[in-house]
Every structure is written in structure tokens, then in C-alpha cells.
Amino acid sequence: MKAVELEKSYNPKDFEDRIYADWKEHGCFQPDAEAPGEPFTVVMPPPNVTGILHMGHALNNQLQDTLVRYHRMCGRPALWVPGTDHAGIATQNVVERQLAAKGLRRQDLGREKFVEETWKVKERHHAIISQQLEKIGSSCDWTRERFTMDEGLSQAVRESFVTLYERGLVYKGNYLVNYCTHCGTALADDEVEYKNLPGKLYQVQYPYADGSGNITVATTRPETMFGDVAVAVNPADERYAHLVGTFVILPLANKRIPIIADSYVDMEFGTGMVKITPAHDPNDWEIGRRHDLEMVNILNADGTLNDAVPEVYRNMDVTSARKLVVADLVSGGYLVGQTDHNHDVGHCYRCSTVIEPYLSEQWFVSMKGMADKALGAWKDGKIVFYAKRWENTYSHWLENIRDWCISRQLWWGHRIPVWYCQDCGQMMVERKDPTSCNKCGSSTILQDTDVLDTWFSSWLWPFSTLGWPESTPDLKRFFPTSTLVTGYDIIFFWVSRMIMASLEFLGEVPFRDIYITGLVRDKQGRKMSKSLGNGIDPLEVVDLYGADAMKFTLCYMAAQGQDILIDMESFKLGSRFANKMWNATRFLLMNLEGKELVPIVDSDLNIMDRWMYRQVNEAASRVKAAIEGYRFNDGAQAIYDVFWNDFCDWYVEATKHALATKDEAERNRQVSVMLDLLAELMRLMHPFVSFITEEIYGKLPNTTGRVIDAPYPSYREERNHDDAKAIVDAMQELVRGVRSLRSELQIPNERKLQIVFRPDAAFVATGFVSEHVGLISTFVGASQLVVDAHAETSVAKAIPVAGHGFEVFVFVRDAIDVDSEIRKIEIDLERNAKSLEGTLRKLSNEQFMSNAKQEAIDKERGKQAEFEEKLEKGRKHLTLLRSL
RNA sequence: GGGGGGUUAGCUCAGUGGGAGAGCUCCUGCCUUACAAGCAGGCUGUCGUGGGUUCAAAUCCCUCACCCCCCA
């Protein structure tokens, strides 16, 4: 063979893009649907098409990538469906901002033109997000990519809406909803974020209608008083019982409203009297319904006050109106007090504008029945959350479900498939656009102007992306999907609803395993956000360290159920690891010159080979357990350990020695084994560090094809060479003992040591050490290594090192301070004596002996022998040193 | 008000019943030609507090403290 020259330093930019393009071009991400075996399917949580990939996406997609690559290599047809959603509000906001820069409003363009414009923006942004996913190495099947507003998915949305309507689960009604005046649309309950903010509690006097005095009500929102239709007291409140049924006058508006009794009122809060504004407060709305009160809406859709308020306040926004109302109440003598008061204020989750409860005609989905089924599926064990505790979040939300407001007053999205006849008023809910009224035949029909909530299309994602409502081959083959990987912030929005939709429309759960990722935070534990400027751009990480560095680091840090705290520096971990892989490979490949690849014969393997195979074997079983149990950090740790600590630190070092042999056949054998191990390690590590493993795999002379579709290493009983492990463990203890002594005594590496090694009769590695004197000498830096079971070494010249089953004598008399050596041994003796004492205490404890597992007892006995041996050797060495 | 999570080495975090771990940092010595993005060796812990269960607790149960999140 020829030596293969690798670049001197690891530079991921040299190959990452090239490799991704190669995978994509050769269809490596496309599953063979015809292949046997249970498919492994993942649908990517669709990022907002106008969004930018952030660290959370990078984490989420990396974990999916690890899963998919692992299962693909295990031989299952693995499908990962990518895609984006149209993000109704967010995208519309983006386009409106662009228009605003030109001094335009969307109304200036008109609906059709505006939507056209939005599609253009979508196309531009879409390229960005796909490119980012490619940069981080996501092995998703781009040929199956979907968008929530493409034709097929729009059909799915239409089908689901009409079906639910037919089942009586979609209805229209005039209700109090959460309304964002900035976005100009209604929102669902869970799209409102509550923030506790400082405010004022105003005490306002309302005069009795008969002029006999005043009552005092407390309110945080005085400007809504124009919508007041009553004042309520608790029926049990004796202070006010006599007032129920009388009337007061609304100041500034000069309107007569009744005093009513309702048990909702908290007698302890404020004065125990509450103004009732049914059209602007959810609790008041309930009271209004109970008492059949009028609903007075005082707002326009843009958040300004409407004609229901006195003229001076009209067209003012809420904040200005509040100021003026307070001023007017003061000057009118109605305001008798104001105190600081913190309260929870709802904000729009998209734009942070204060939410107004707003009475309007909207479409809703009736949720109770679907929620019960979704709860049932969980109780029956058909879905499992990782980590388990998220099941509480899931069940709690479903148990307290409220109907879902799905209409949005936007232009960008799926238009509600409902038409109204302008002549007879007939309402039609249709799968296909009608051209005339199905009742009176009039062709003057108008479609509902609202669009549907984006989540109303996302909740179909696991099956709409596979072709539903058509019964496509993909749907039959790949649904239900295997695993969903997502963040806990959308368990309500998305996860629960997908389960409900799937049960409703297909009668089965959309996925069995739900892995909830942690949130990516900065080192101070703060959420990464644009406003804090503490975010880390995944592309910047890729640029600085390479995609593999990011991929590995994220896996390494992804402990189940834990948030991830990182900064830019964190990615050095992965970067160093990738660099280590690169350089180890570089070394091995530069040694190929003049060697031949020969078949590997198991019986020819030496102890180090057998040990290394065993370690890789063990790692394979660790990784399997880790990935299948969604413990990504364990998997990353396993490959890190085996590659760095075993392969590089010991096996490759031993190989250096082995390759120096003059025996050509042995050299060829050694190189072949080494390459075999390296190739297997690349396969093992591929799901965590995909690019570099592919690059290296392609350069190995003993491999064909790509690592991405190579078989994944699995645990093999016949490679469980525990005998080799015992020997190498013992050898390592011996080597570490000498190295430690050298280091403590500050003996420079150049100075080669004279060493006598004295094994006990039962020492497991005696043969190995005897046969590999050269190798061990290299490990410890010895000029002479004598193995002598009966050595009577004069310590006048040597320092003894005690190990488990052996002693080593290092001839460095001149380099030591006898007193300090004595002290060290004394400290050691003390520690061992203490350990022995603890062990003996256990072994002499009857209850321990009768209750403990046999395993635990055996272990204690082993410890006893070990401590006694060390004590004995230590004492002997102490005596020798003291005799000097 | 309800629920969940966290508290382990200087930092970030693994570890769920039997001798306290990793990465980074720090200290010491090394450019031993694959890698100084490295090698070798080392220091560091009342496993938040107080109790309980157990032969045995970082691990299970309870109390308290502090921090974080979700829901109402």
C-alpha cells in the first residue's frame, strides 16, 4: 500500500460541504421503502419559514440526526421528513414591516397582491433555512420536504376542518377571545404569555342613582369603565346585601347600572365591590353570561376606543385613554385612591403587545372529546415521554383543556373553507370551492375572510407530510412515526394537538416516543434571546469549529430532561475530539507505506488487539443502550472514552512499537488489524460526528462505500475478551505506577530508568509483561526492565511501588528524599488501614452478612484481600526504607 | 394557589442503593515527530440543610432553605 497523506491539521471546511453534497446527490437520505424491516420515521418539527436557525434548532436537529443515522445504519428504512411551516402571524409581520419601510400598509396592496408578495418572501427565506440545516449535517430526505401551505398539506387542512365540522367539533360563535391589537387578530389561549408587571389599583367612587351617597370599586383598568354593565358583590357579604338590586351611576358616562350579587367576587379584595365589564374581562364575561347582562364592547379592532364611549375618549388608544380617564376621575372627585399593584398582564407570544380580551365572532374547535382520547392513549402506554416527567405537563393540560380558537384575522394562511350566500344567508362548509349557493343557487357567495391558526396545519404534520388524506404508499409504510424530538415549550401547542388529530383522523397515535429536549441557555442560565444578544449562531459555530464539533458537543451535553448551558468556548470540546480523530488517522495512514492488507485471523490477535476489540465491542453496547434509551450524553461519552482513552492513548501507542518489528508478515497483520479497528470506530462514531467519520472512512484502504450506509457495529459475544481486559488493566496499573513515581520525583523523560518487576504468583499479566518488555519499557521509559518473581532487590538503590499483585522497583536512589518517600508510604498505609477497617466492619456485621446480596459480600472480600496486600507490601517497603 | 425541576470539584454538568465521576480550569514536567487543539502526572468535594428508612443513602422517604420553569 501507499501511505495516505492527510492535511497536517484538521480543517472541517475542506470537506464538510463536499460530503453533504455527495450524500444528497447519491440519495443517502432516502430510505428504501421496499426494504424489509420496521421503518424508523421522524418528522422534523417544522421551523418557521421566515425564521433563522438558532441553537435550539441545532440541538433538536442534531439529536434527530443521531437517531436517524443510527437506525439507518442498523438497517432499518429510516425516513426523516424535513419541512417548514408558514408561521401566519410571524410571516405576515415580516412582510408588513418590509412594506412599512416603503411607507405602505398591507391594505394598500390588497389581499391578493399581499399574499403574492408573502410567497416571494417565503421563497427567499426558505433557501436560508434549508441551507442552514444542510450546514449542520441534517440527514433528512429533501425529496420529501413539505411546507404547511403547499398543495397537499392545504388539502389536509381543508379535509380536517370539514370533517370536524361534520362531526360537530368545529363551531362558530361570538365569544370573548384574546386579541392582539398589533397583529390585528385573535389568538388561542395558549398563545398568550402572562407577565407579572407593576400597575396601579384605582379606587373609584360610583354615586348611587338616588343621590344618597357613593360606593367604591377597585380596578386596574379604569378606561374599561365605559363597558361596565353592573357592579357585583358577594352574596354572602353582609356589608352590601341591602344594596343588591339598587343602581349606581357610571361617572364620566352618566349611565345607570345595577348592583348584582355573584359568588365569584372576593370579599377580601379591595372594597369587595367589583365593576363588571363582560366584553373586556374573562371573569366578567362569565358573570355576564350568568346574569344575562349586556356585553358592551368599547374597542375597535385596532385597539382604540370606539363609539360606545363618550366622544372625548373615542379613537384614543388604551394607554392614552387610561391617562385621560384617571385625570377626569380626579377632577370630577371620583378617584379616592390609588395604590401600587402588581398583576399578570397577557402579552402576544409573537409581538409582546398587551392582549385585549375582545368580544368577536370566531371559529372554535371543541376539544374535550379529543383530549379525553389523547389522555387515554397516554394512560394505555401508547405514548412515552422522555423524560417521563413531561407526562405531567401533558396530562394536566389535557385535563383542563378549553376550546381552541382557530380563526385568525390575517391574510397569510389557509383561508377558512366556509362560504356565505349573500342572498339567502346560507353557510356552506366545503371540501371543494363552491361556485353557487347550495340552497338558493345564487352565485353571490363570499368566502370567510379569516384564515386558520398555523397550528391547525401543524397538528396534522406527522401524516399530512406523508400524503394524508390520500392513502399514499408513504403513509402506509412510514406512519405512525417512531420518535418526535421537540422542546417543552410546544407540548401544548403542538405535541398534544398532533396526538389528538392523529387519533381523530387516523385512529392511532402519531408517534410512540416523545423526546423533550432541554432549552439551550447561556452560561448564566438565561434563555438565549435576540433582545439580550446572548444567542449563539449555529452557523458561526460551524464556521469557527466545524459542524462535527457542534454536533458532538451538543450530544455530549444533552442529558435527558436537562437544559443545556453553553457559550462559544463549549464547542472546543467537540473540536478537540474531531481533531484527535483526524490526527490519529493521519498517523496510521502515514504508516501504510510498503505494507499489505491481509485477512484478519482471530487466532493471530495479540493481547492488545483483543483488548481493543473488546473495548470497541463494549462501547458498541454502551452506545446502543444510550441511543435507544435517548441518553445522548452517554452515547457521546462512550465514543469519547473508547476513542481517546483506549484507542489513542494505549492502542495506537502500542501500535507504534509493534510496527517497528522487522517481521514483515507481522507488520502487515498489525496494520490490517489497526485499520479494521479504525474503520469500526468510524462506523461507531458516525451518528455523533458524521462528516469527519465519512471523510476518514473514505480514505481508509480497507473500506468500500460510505460510512453513512455501512452497518452499525453491534455487540458480539465472541469479542468479549475479558481475559485480555484483565491483563491490560494490570499492565496499565503497572505503567501508571512507574509514571506516577517518575512525575512525583520530577525525573525527566530523557532519563531512562532501570526497573525490576516482581509479580506475585497469581499476577495475571506476568506473561504479557515478560513477552512485551520492549513495549512496557517504552510506556514507562525504562532502559532496562527485569521481570523476576523472586527478586530480592536492594532498596538502597531502588524505590518500591506497590500494585495489586505486583511490586516494581525503580532504581532512582539518587533522585529521592528518603524521608518524604517514607511519609508518602505512611500516608498510604493509613488510608489503606482505614479502608480495611471499614471493609472488616462490614464483613463482621452479622446483619450485613445475612442481608446483603452475595455480590456485595464477595466484593467486600475482594477489597479485604486487596487492602491487606497493600498494607503488607507498604509495611515491608517502609521497613526497608527506614533501614537505610 | 397548583404542578414540575434544580442544588455533586473553581466553572458546566453526568451519576438512582454497595469503594465519589467527566470536560474545562488550575498546578508540575514534557515540542517523546499523529495531534501543544497535544502527552504524562497531580490538586480540589460536609454530594444544599435537618431528620427518617436500610446491614448499607449522593442515590429512597419527609422537613426546611435558596434558585428556575410551567399552569391558574
Separation between Cα atoms, residue A81 and residue A139, nearest integer Å: 10
The three-state DSSP-derived secondary structure of A619-646 is: HHHHHHHHHHCCCHHHHHHHHHHHHHHH
Q: How far is the CA of A551 from the C1' of B26 (A)?
A: 28
Cell of A351: 409581538
Q: How far is the CA of A570 from the C1' of B25 (A)?
A: 13
Average pLDDT, stretch A60-66?
A: 95
For the CA of A524 and the C1' of B66, the distance in angstroms is 17
Q: Provide the pLDDT confidence category of residue A217 given band limits of 50, 70 and 90.
A: confident
Q: What's the CA A496/C1' B2 distance, rounded, in angstroms?
A: 21
Which nucleotide has the least CA–C1' distance to A576?
A: B37
Please give the nucleotide, over all strands, whose C1' is closest to the CA of residue A867.
B19
Nucleotides of B under 7 A from a protein CB: 3-6, 11-15, 18-19, 22-24, 28-30, 32-35, 37-42, 54-56, 68, 70-72
Nucleotide nearest to A560 (CA to C1'): B14
pLDDT above 90 (res A27): yes
**How far is residue A141 from each of residues A25, A31, A65, A124, A233, measured CA to CA in Å?**
11, 8, 11, 21, 62
Q: What is the mean pLDDT of residues A763-773?
A: 93
pLDDT at A306 > cutoff 80: yes
CA of A330 vs C1' of B50, distance in Å?
56
Q: Which nucleotide is closest to A577, CA to C1'? A: B37
> Residue range A802-808: average pLDDT?
90
State whether residue A247 is helix, strand or coil: strand
Q: Which residues contact residue A702 at a Cβ distance below 8 angstroms, ignoring those fewer than 6 apart?
A: A597, A672, A675, A676, A679
Is the pLDDT score of A209 beyond 90? no
Of the segments A274-283, A388-397, A752-761, which one has the largest average pLDDT value?
Answer: A752-761
Provide mean pLDDT across the span A6-16. Answer: 91
**Stronger pLDDT, A341 or A642, i.e. the higher one:** A642
% of chain A residues with pLDDT over 90: 49
Lowest mean pLDDT among A12-16, A538-542, A605-609, A825-829: A825-829
Minimum-distance residue to B37 (CA–C1'): A576
Q: What pLDDT, on a 0 to 100 scale, did the predictor assign at position A229?
A: 83
Q: Mean pLDDT over residues A559-579, rounded?
A: 89
Residue with smallest Cα–C1' gap to B22: A637
Q: Can you tell me the distance from the alpha carbon of A175 to that of A17, in angstroms, rounded to the nearest whole number?
A: 53
Residue whose cell numbers read 501511505: A3
A626/A880: higher pLDDT = A626
What pLDDT sits at residue A346?
84
- Sheet bearing A404-405, strands edge to edge: A185-187, A170-180, A355-365, A404-405
pLDDT (mean) for A714-730: 93
A841 nearest nucleotide via C1' and CA: B55
Q: What backbone phi and psi angles, to 5 degrees, belong to A829?
A: -60, -45
Closest CA to A642 of A587, A673, A680: A680
Average the pLDDT over each of A95-109, A335-349, A403-417 and give the range with the smallest value: A335-349
Give the cell for residue A726: 484483565
Q: Please report the pLDDT score of residue A604 as a whole number.
A: 93
Distance (Å) from CA A597 to C1' B24?
41
Element (H, E) at A768: helix A766-771
| pLDDT at residue A168 in the model | 94
pLDDT per position as a tens digit, A426-456: 899 999 999 989 888 888 899 999 999 999 9
Q: How much is the CA Rg of chain A, to the nearest whole Å?
A: 37
d(CA A565, C1' B24) / Å: 13
Dist CA A605 CA A669 (whole Å): 9
What's the mean per-residue pLDDT of chain A?
89
Band of pLDDT at residue A287, cut at 50, 70 and 90: confident
Q: How far is the CA of A570 from the C1' of B13 (A)?
A: 12
pLDDT at A551 over 90: yes
Q: How far is the CA of A521 from the C1' of B7 (A)?
A: 18
Tell me the CA distances in angstroms from A639 to A66, A718, A845, one per residue in order: 13, 21, 42
d(CA A518, CA A512) in angstroms, rounded, equals 19
Instruction: Name the nt closest to A648 by C-alpha to C1'.
Output: B34
Asked if pLDDT for residue A574 goes beyond 80, the answer is yes
A6 CA: nearest nucleotide by C1' = B34
Measure A879 CA to B32 C1' (Å).
36
Q: How far apart are CA A518 and CA A557, in angstroms?
A: 10
Q: Per CA to C1' distance, which residue is closest to B72? A: A400
Report how far residue A608's alpha carbon sits from residue A673's, in angstroms, rounded to the nearest whole number: 11
**Interatomic CA–C1' length for residue A364 and nucleotide B9, angstroms:** 55
pLDDT above 80 (res A381): yes
What percent of chain A stands above pLDDT 70?
Answer: 100
CA dist list (Å): A351 to A91, A179, A185, A301, A497 = 12, 12, 12, 16, 23
Give the mean pLDDT of A66-78: 95
Rounded to two decimals, what is the model's pTM?
A: 0.91
**pLDDT recorded at residue A795:** 66
The pLDDT, as a whole number, for residue A238 is: 83
- Give the model's confidence band at A472: pLDDT under 50 very low, under 70 low, under 90 confident, else very high: very high
Q: Sorting pLDDT into bands at 50, 70 and 90, what band is A264?
A: confident
The Cα–Cα gap between A393 and A379 comes to: 14
Which region among A316-325, A338-347, A545-554, A649-658 has the lowest average model confidence (pLDDT)?
Answer: A338-347
Task: Give nearest nucleotide to A572 (CA–C1').
Answer: B37
Task: With H, G, I as helix, E, B as strand and everything else as coil, classify residue A673.
Answer: helix
Q: What is the 3-state secondary structure (H, E, C) of A555-572?
A: HHHCCCCCCEECCHHHHH
Asked whether residue A110 carries a pLDDT value surpassing 70, the answer given is: yes
A851: CB partners within 8 A, 6+ apart: none
Read off the pLDDT of residues A73-95 as tens digits, 9 standing for 90 and up: 999 999 999 999 998 888 888 88
Higher pLDDT, A240 or A138: A138
Q: A155-185, pLDDT tens digit by residue?
A: 999 999 999 999 999 999 888 888 888 888 8
Following DSSP, what letter does each residue of A50-106 receive, concatenated? T----HHHHHHHHHHHHHHHHHHHTT--EEEE-EEB--HHHHHHHHHHHHHHTT--H
Q: How far apart are CA A260 and CA A400, in angstroms?
A: 29
The C1' atom of B55 and the CA atom of A841 lie apart, in whole Å, by 11
CA angle A10, A15, A18 (to 5 degrees): 175
Where helices occur in A196-333 by DSSP H, the ranges are: 282-290, 318-331
**A282, closest nucleotide (Cα–C1'):** B72
